[in-house]
Amino acid sequence: MRGRSYNAGPIGLDIAARAIRAVQLKRSRSGFELVAHAQVDVNPADIEDEDRVHEHIKSILATRGFVGRKVAICIPDRSLEVKNLRMPQMPESELADAALFEARERFVNLRNGYMIRALPAGLVGADSNAQQELIVLAAPEQAIETRLKTMMKLGVQVTSIEPTATAFFRPYEQSLRRSSDANVPNAFVDIGEWNTRVLISCGDDIAFLKICPIGGSHFDTAIAKDLVLPAPDASKARLQLLTSGDPQHADSATQAARGAIKTVVEQLAKEISLCLRYYSVTFRAERPEYVTIAGDSANPIVAELMTESLRVPVHVGKAFSAGSCACAVESMDLDSGLPQWTTALGLAMNDDRVGAGRKVAS
């Protein structure tokens, strides 16, 4: 047990709409090793009920193999708000307090009962009058406290609680630290159940973040309407679509579901295109050469449809095979290409013994 716990990081606990996933890593000479992993499927309604969340997590933590009681979690997904803010350049030591004050002054709805953090995104404008662009992340204190109370009932120690976007980016961040990647833009899209996070990085720094109100549930609605299916059957059809693999060899039912979600994917692609344009204009930078999609509703068929609309190559991310994570799935039953595990993996890496966390002004 001592050998297994040595250098083991926290249990990354991703509480998503249709599944709760847990991953634990430890350092090795070749990168990371997978200590344990587990998943339990849930109904979206369960995630709104903290008692049900408690029971699901309890069953996951009882899975053989996990070491210790330290966990890393995300802020409840539907509670987070994202806004952009520009401020004069100033020393990093002053930035946190100034950003907090400015955010509360400009965004009235965030003044009371919200926890606010600001993520430096980069400099915009002419050199002589450049301003610091900030990504303001805000969540109701009540939502955070409720989730932390659930963890306390489980008898675990929460080592970190962070926005889903930063956890999602962390596995890719690890592979973007080469000097040759320092000024290279990359676009990542996390397609969730209710919304989609569009993240653009410059090297290993987050430069842009937006939450779009389109997600897997909208795929279900489109499938139910086009194929005249009840909601549960539409959800099953979407799950079959996600696991169908190669778009060129999909069966007739999968092709029908593909046609049904095409309009929704096109809408999402328009949102992503606007994000790419904003980044390019704001930072006077080249657009990313391709887009990486992951999350609960990402698969090769969605990537193919999005490529047609964006006219930019889109591929499904392989977070488990990125950089030093490649050894984490050796001889395990986790497929290195599974995009649904990206956030859980990023949470598991949010520990000094496993990987450095991203600095956020508080």
Q: What percent of the chain has pLDDT over 90?
A: 46
DSSP state of 264: H
**Alpha helices by DSSP H, 36-163:** 50-61, 92-106, 141-153
d(CA 255, CA 315): 19
- Burial of 360: CB neighbours in 10 Å, binned 0-12, 13-18, 19+: middle
More confident of the two residues 3 and 156 = 156
Least confident of 85-99, 164-178, 285-299, 326-340: 326-340
Instruction: Measure the CA angle with vertex 324, ends 318 and 327; round to 5°.
Output: 80
Q: Which pLDDT score is estimated for 52?
A: 92
pLDDT score of 135 more than 70: yes
pTM of the model: 0.88
Kindly report, residue by residue over 105-132, the tens digit of the pLDDT: 888 878 788 998 888 898 887 777 889 9
pLDDT score of 338 more than 60: yes
Least confident of 146-160, 167-181, 245-259: 245-259
Question: pLDDT band for position 79 (50/70/90)?
Answer: confident
